[in-house]
Amino acid sequence: MQLLMVEDDIPLATGLKKALQAQGFAVNHLDTGKAALHVIGVEKPDMVILDLGLPDMDGLDVLRAIRRKHVQLPVLLLTARDSVEDKVAGLDCGADDYLAKPFDMVELLARLRVMERRMSRIQTTAINLGNVSLDTVEQRVTLDGQEVELPRREYMLLKSLMENAGRVQTRAVLESRLYSWGEEVSSNALEVHVHHLRKKFGNDFIRTIRGVGYKVGASQE
């Protein structure tokens, strides 16, 4: 799950980033609206946390610009202004949720989980591949009907692969789903996760495409 956080309050952003990373999110942080729109145009994140009071643009204009291209990208607004009018304006512009500062980390995490579930429901529920089934709503994986507990990063990796069954996922794409920019990632971190998944689901479940990446399922080409 790659989360883009657009927030110009650096101490707040730093604290949030740490807390969210501890929950297994890959968090990328930007402090201007223009940079956010650029990045979203190049590499769409899975979810966006957007501060309304940015130095270069009104957050609502950033949100409108996001919505013109990405109707379903989940966006949670953060704001220092806690009035009904602001909330309505945010939701009218297409925000999925709205949180007034100051807020509890627990509250933010709960809202993100709701957005994550809603997003999964729009996309898919269960993805089945051979004897492996992954439910993106329940965030549950089964092998021959038996539940397999996975650490969050292994789950996210398996989900990325299964959502794209039959297509090769490059190392760069997979890593961007699992890690934040600039996060210290050892060069074999992805291999280690793949290794663990293979131990759980069988060596042949994930295939290595030498020099490119990984894939599951039969080729669609």
Kindly list the residues in this chain that would bind Ca ion in the complex (CB under 5 A).
8, 51, 53
Per the listing, tokens 């940015």 go with 54
The residue among 5 and 216 lying less far from Ca ion, judged by its C-beta, is 5
Which residue is at the shortest CB distance from Ca ion? 53
**Cβ-contact 178, 157 below 8 angstroms:** yes
The residue among 51 and 116 lying less far from Ca ion, judged by its C-beta, is 51
Q: Closest separation between CB of residue 44 and Ca ion, Å? A: 23
Q: Which residues contact 132 (CB under 8 A, 6 or more apart)?
A: 141, 142, 143, 162, 201, 205
Q: Closest separation between CB of residue 53 and Ca ion, Å? A: 4
Q: Which of 32, 33, 8, 5 is nearest to 18 (CA)?
A: 5
Tokens of 182: 């600039």
**Cβ-contact 206, 161 below 8 angstroms:** yes
Q: Closest separation between CB of residue 101 and Ca ion, Å? A: 9
The residue among 101 and 200 lying less far from Ca ion, judged by its C-beta, is 101
Q: Closest separation between CB of residue 80 and Ca ion, Å? A: 7
The residue among 12 and 143 lying less far from Ca ion, judged by its C-beta, is 12
Task: Give Cα 89 to chain centroid, integer Å.
Answer: 25
Task: Give Cα 193 to chain centroid, integer Å.
Answer: 18
Q: Closest separation between CB of residue 31 and Ca ion, Å? A: 9
Tokens of 163: 């959502």
The residue among 3 and 49 lying less far from Ca ion, judged by its C-beta, is 49
